[in-house]
Structure 1
Amino acid sequence: MYCITSDEIRNIFLDYFKKNNHMQISGSSIIPKNDPTLLFINSGMAPLKTYFTGEEIPPEKNLCNIQPCIRTIDIDEIGDRHHLTSFEMLGSWSFDNYFKEDAIKLAFRLLTEGYKIPKEKLYATVFAGSEKLGLSMDQESADIWKEAGMDPAHIVPQPFEDNFWGPTAETGPCGPCTEVFYDTGEEFGEAYVPGGHFDTKKRYIEIWNAGVFMQFNKNTKGEYENLKFKSVDTGAGLERLTMTLNKLNSVYEIDSLKPIVDLIQEEMKGTEVAERDVHVMTDHFRTSTILLAAGVQPSNTGRGYIPRRLIRKCCTIIHKYQVENFNYEKIVDKVIKHYAKYYDHFEANRANILKMLQQEISSYNEILKEGIQRIEKICEKSGDIVSGNDAFVLVTTYGLPYALVEEYVNKCGKKVDKEGYKKAENHHKEISRNESAHDKDDSQISNQELKDLESSLEEIVETDFSGYEKLSCEAKVLFISQNGEKKDTLAEGEKAAVVFNTSCFYAESGGQVADTGEISNQSMTGKVLDVKKVKGKFVHFVQVEQGVLKCGDQLQLNVNGERRTKIEANHSAVHLLQYALREVCGKDVKQAGSLVTDERLRFDFYCDEKLQDELDVVEKLVNKTIQQNLSKDIKLTTYEDAIREGALAFFENKYGNEVRLVSFGEISRELCGGTHIESTGKIGLFKILSEESVGRGIRRITAVTGECALDYVQSELKILREVSKKLKVSTNQILAKLNSFDGKKQVAAENKKIQLTKEEVSKLIKQSSGNIKYVFYQEDEFVENLNNEAIRIANDIQGVTCLLAVADQSVKIAVAVPKAMTKEINAGNILKKAVTYIDGKGGGAPHLAMGGGSNVDGIKKLEEDFGSLF
């Protein structure tokens, strides 16, 4: 039996603060609103940040609530006595009202009278000060604790790292804090002696942050400024407080977590499952359910990476103990029922929670199954040591956690070459860096150049952007930088980063590429090749064509209007495409990324299945919307009002207090900072070029509009007419004619051979990122000598050869390496990576490996990446 339940603790807390003149407010969603600095709400005060800064006025001076929180920083600590990824925070606040004295006395009375904790069990920490930061010790709080009744020997000064709170991001409200700890007894360690070590890991458990005294604001320079007014933020983790008040040894024994623990142990019956593993699964299943209930879809990036990581960790543990038919749904259902008592959206989203969970589990179990089979094969062929390269392939190609690889290898009586693994990992990172450098266009500003400019631009005013309304403007040159060096002038033919006081050039943002155009005055002309943003400053990459550009010059800026219009058409088409996808494939479709240029558009979206017949329906719906000639409507509003109007918003974008809502009729409403066409009719024609997978659960559509779309259609029709002419039938009879060839074609394919001439091979030779020659070639029908030809070419060029044969949506692949090079490069290892692009399998010897796959769409990406696979 529990001395006090978590429900009783909730009620005592809220009743106490309401009786002490605090207004109870509702908890916020764990997804931060209008705060791009946070991944998730990680404290009770996070949703109230604007009250502390004075940007908004709170409904009352004193507030209290219970706020769900998630802290990913504690993930690696999960499984011990008291760490959790998700928890509920009991919080109380005072804005420009009471301060340290009232906060500390309110906390002490609640703990000793409300929760009836003996005084001798309580310890308080106070800020010891920081000489380095010029902050003195919080002696005032120490004196108030004594006055309230705390034993002076139980008041512990602690350093900045422990007793200075915040800000929740790089900047924001912060201040010294005072925390309350509960003494769990001598069985958990030695007692604290004033001036000695205060053990906050085992014996003394924090149960309350009795007061974060918000008196400073940390600015972008790292300085601590006084806030306009002082405020108080207090918080206690409900789960940890429940553990303490019930004198339990672990937070996993409390009434809200023990039922989940029991269910997991029941499902793991018959195994010798470790207690820590049960605790990890309890926390991770609970946190995943909270995230899925909030609509966070598992993915490889951003917020979605957290539920994916947590769910996959649970799957890995279950697989480790070889438990079959584990009832995931029963565990998650228990979590839903618990939280449904307090938050309506859990029950309302039950079906979607279970659907996303099952999809993620099924997907990962397939990865586990295939990956473990691969481990077993590697172990059979290896000696006592499994190479670091093999382990790295298992982690990167098969998606297995390194710990699982190591564990299975150890089960086979072998060890992983850890140093070799780290070497392979570092080599891969180096390749990625080299590729990025290699791919850089000399007409663009690199990210590194932008980073180097940050400190130099601190004193420059933010750029006044006028490009929404006009394509030309007058501007003054404020700053010139070339190769990291500040300059006063830029000579003819030179390129440099230039900042103006105002600009009509759109800076690359939100997937939309930057504008290009011209700048000029009476004595010089130049081109703008690229524009990027650095903390509100538009950095223009300029090339002087004639004359000299000087700091202080007044210039005429002119955007390339024709190019801008094409970009706008493609950007508006992206919005219409998202609308059409959600109409055809369901509202679960969400944007995962986009790229908008003047030539084409690319749209990445969350979807587990390849689109086939749906593509034609989507394309038709977009074109229908274009024909309706819907006018663009743009208005500035608040984030909350925009969402209430049904606007789509994406967490990876940063939204300020004021947002820009772009609408086309009633069908498309999105928060967007990009430029758009005046009406949909001006987009012209919309044509999808391809649909492919770019990651597990993420699909990509590439499309064109306007003249580009018309050119594409005409090109396709021209090919069709030529085929019709060669077959000597009308275009509508081409398929029937081809079908009549099937039998003959099959026989011919079995006997067809490939043989590239030396001249053809020389044109195909490329250099890998490691400066190794290679040839990549695709034959659009099956041939019988693919392997022999791959070996012949590899020997001729003394490099790597990859040959593919494609027919009937099926791919055959052969990778060859000269035998003299196999100590350095292994064809089998290259193939293992290559077949992941075509959803295939294969294997072979160090000099020749063969395989096959079914994803023809993946060949293009494989060709792009092939040079980085070895």
Structure 2
Amino acid sequence: MCVWHADYLKNIFPETSEHLATVAKVLEVEKSKYESTKQKTRQIIEKLMQSEITNTKLLELYDSQGISPELVREESAKLGKKVAVPENFYAQVAELHQHKEQEHQTHREEKIDLEGVPETKALYYQDWKHIVFQGKVVKIIGKNIVLDQTAFYPTSGGQLHDIGVIEGMQGKDEVVDIFKQGSVIVHVLKETPTCKVGEDVKGFIDFIRRKQLAQHHSATHIVGAAARIVLGEHINQASAKKTVEKAHIDLTHYDMISEEKLKEIEDKANWLIQQKVPIQLKFYPRTEAEQTFGMGIYQGGAVPGKELRIVNITGYDVQCCGGTHLLNTGDAEAIKILKANKVQDGIVRVTFVAGDAARAQQKGEQNVLEETAKLLQCRKNQVPARAQELFELWKQAVKKKKQPTSLELKATEEFLGSEKDMLVKVCEIYKTTPEHIVKTTERFLSELKETHESEKK
């Protein structure tokens, strides 16, 4: 049927025929998910039979597990329970998603009186390294200062704000927050300002924070581009969030992303970094932007305004975006994917770090493996085998109360994968997360020793 439909539309939408292989995969996955969901729904309904299935519960089941209210109603009827589905159920789902989208946009609800205050000229669009600037104070409200122009980036678009200092004739004022209200950018100070309205001041932005946020923002676009290359053209950004510690991108994908595919995405992202692809930052009239780059520029939702800032990773990714960005992919330095998890049906969240945060993560992983190797008295590449041996001994002695003849760990099998793969393997064995591997190893060794000594007595 899909082939017939694509053939019928080929003169209008020729790309439909080009993606039939992906369509087949999606249908196969959806069929499997449907059958699985039906079975899961029956099990869930059986558990819920003792209580009322509320509208809140229906929303939760649909949003977190992809179980439609119609399927809940159908399966409940088979078990003799009537479930009422609101007529505006899907409107409620849309409202719920809109609220979540606003959270990712890091929208600020607080409003202050800015009547008569002119639009602030933003200086951060063209060069992320623009961290020193001059401006004039046009408004002061408590600890809030408005300048005629600023290079401080306000919290918006899923990216956190800059911090730094504003220096006037009477001293330096620490800037702890930045937000945008309408067309006005507001600087929030730690203390009451020392400068006055009309005074010329100088701004100094924290370079380390600015760099890390710019790396995470551009890396978001790079990871999205890499995922599109690896998984297919259906990949788009649904939303994203960038902090100093880490970032994540929510991708439109019909299935969970396997560890193998995640590794491919990470490798492709780092390949794009190595290519030092230019990142073009330019404002276009809306119509020109749409005609030049297509409607795919609206990833994560529509953007208001007559002019759009286009972030173009030449040949790989084009988006409308107002964040602080690097000038080429090489400035991201390195990208390390931490995990992927399904946040709702058809949306997979990929969490990652870039630049200094990626190197810190790498160093942390190396430290975990080194400490675990010391505890298990083996080389790093023998840790997975020793961890498996320790876990089996611990399970037998502590859980099943069967004492082993010896507590000596002897496994010497060498793991052939990367250090990240080693950590993943140990996490699977211990059923824990990387940051808890050392503590878990210590606990297993300690409990095993205590159990063995108590048996000897």
Q: TM-score, normalised by structure 2?
A: 0.69
1:393 aligns with: 57
For the Cα contact (< 8 Å) 1:524–1:545, is it kept in 2?
no
Cα offsets for 1:799-837 (capped at 9, x unmatched): xxxxxxx964869xxxxxxxxxxxxxxxxxxxxxxxxxx
1:472 pairs, out of 117, 126, 132, with 132
The whole-number CA distance in structure 2 between the counterparts of 1:352 and 1:732 is 38
2:214 pairs, out of 552, 568, 589, with 568
The whole-number CA distance in structure 2 between the counterparts of 1:651 and 1:739 is 43
Q: How does 1:435-834 map to 2 (within 5 A)?
A: 447-450=108-111, 453=112, 456-457=113-114, 459-468=116-125, 469=127, 470-481=130-141, 490=142, 495-496=143-144, 498-544=145-191, 547=194, 549-607=195-253, 608-637=255-284, 638-643=288-293, 648-650=297-299, 652-654=301-303, 656-741=305-390, 744-748=393-397, 750-751=399-400, 808=429
Cα 1:617–1:410 change in 2 (3 A) is closer
**Partner SS for 2:265:** helix
The whole-number CA distance in structure 1 between the counterparts of 2:28 and 2:279 is 40
The whole-number CA distance in structure 2 between the counterparts of 1:627 and 1:333 is 40
The whole-number CA distance in structure 2 between the counterparts of 1:702 and 1:402 is 30
Superposition deviation, residue 565 in structure 1: 1.5
For the Cα contact (< 8 Å) 2:41–2:75, is it kept in 1?
no
For the Cα contact (< 8 Å) 1:647–1:661, is it kept in 2?
no
The whole-number CA distance in structure 1 between the counterparts of 2:293 and 2:198 is 43
For the Cα contact (< 8 Å) 1:524–1:546, is it kept in 2?
no
The whole-number CA distance in structure 1 between the counterparts of 2:25 and 2:169 is 65
Structure 1 vs Structure 2 CA RMSD: 4.1
What code does the residue aligned with 1:466 have?
L
Superposition deviation, residue 612 in structure 1: 0.8
1:764 aligns with: none
**Partner SS for 1:699:** strand
2:33 pairs, out of 346, 363, 370, with 363
The whole-number CA distance in structure 2 between the counterparts of 1:690 and 1:467 is 31
What code does the residue aligned with 1:707 have?
D
Cα offsets for 1:36-92 (capped at 9, x unmatched): xxxxxxxxxxxxxxxxxxxxxxxxxxxxxxxxxxxxxxxxxxxxxxxxxxxxxxxxx
For the Cα contact (< 8 Å) 1:480–1:499, is it kept in 2?
yes
For the Cα contact (< 8 Å) 2:376–2:383, is it kept in 1?
yes
The whole-number CA distance in structure 2 between the counterparts of 1:395 and 1:647 is 29
The whole-number CA distance in structure 2 between the counterparts of 1:345 and 1:586 is 13
The whole-number CA distance in structure 2 between the counterparts of 1:718 and 1:368 is 45
Superposition deviation, residue 745 in structure 1: 4.4
Q: TM-score, normalised by structure 1?
A: 0.39
Superposition deviation, residue 588 in structure 1: 2.1
Identify the structure with the greater helix proportion: 2
Identify the structure with the greater strand proportion: 1
For the Cα contact (< 8 Å) 2:152–2:178, is it kept in 1?
yes
Bigger CA radius of gyration: 1
For the Cα contact (< 8 Å) 2:3–2:17, is it kept in 1?
no
Cα 1:752–1:475 change in 2 (3 A) is farther
The whole-number CA distance in structure 2 between the counterparts of 1:515 and 1:375 is 49
Cα 1:671–1:552 change in 2 (3 A) is same
For the Cα contact (< 8 Å) 2:215–2:326, is it kept in 1?
yes
The whole-number CA distance in structure 1 between the counterparts of 2:332 and 2:278 is 12
Cα 1:545–1:748 change in 2 (3 A) is farther
What code does the residue aligned with 1:639 have?
A
For the Cα contact (< 8 Å) 2:222–2:269, is it kept in 1?
yes
2:440 aligns with: none
Q: How does 1:4-153 map to 2 (within 5 A)?
A: none
The whole-number CA distance in structure 2 between the counterparts of 1:400 and 1:676 is 39
What code does the residue aligned with 2:60 have?
T
For the Cα contact (< 8 Å) 1:527–1:545, is it kept in 2?
no
Superposition deviation, residue 564 in structure 1: 0.9
Greater RCO (Cα-Cα under 8 Å, separation 6 or more): 2
2:452 aligns with: none
Cα 1:344–1:512 change in 2 (3 A) is same
Cα 1:339–1:610 change in 2 (3 A) is closer
Q: Structure 1: which 5+ runs fail to align?
A: 1-329, 419-424, 434-438, 440-444, 482-489, 754-805, 812-855, 860-870
Superposition deviation, residue 634 in structure 1: 2.6
Q: Structure 2: which 5+ runs fail to align?
A: 86-91, 403-426, 437-457
**Partner SS for 2:261:** helix
**Partner SS for 1:694:** strand
Superposition deviation, residue 669 in structure 1: 3.8
For the Cα contact (< 8 Å) 1:525–1:544, is it kept in 2?
no
Cα 1:640–1:342 change in 2 (3 A) is closer
Q: How does 1:281-296 map to 2 (within 5 A)?
A: none
What code does the residue aligned with 1:396 have?
E
Question: Could you tell me the percent identity over the aligned residues?
Answer: 27
Superposition deviation, residue 508 in structure 1: 2.3
Cα offsets for 1:467-511 (capped at 9, x unmatched): 234323333333444xxxxxxxx3xxxx44x33322211122322
Cα 1:624–1:340 change in 2 (3 A) is closer
Superposition deviation, residue 521 in structure 1: 1.0
The whole-number CA distance in structure 2 between the counterparts of 1:610 and 1:349 is 19
Corresponding residue pairs, total: 387
Cα 1:748–1:699 change in 2 (3 A) is farther
**Partner SS for 1:623:** helix
The whole-number CA distance in structure 1 between the counterparts of 2:164 and 2:119 is 21
Cα 1:403–1:473 change in 2 (3 A) is same
Cα 1:737–1:376 change in 2 (3 A) is closer
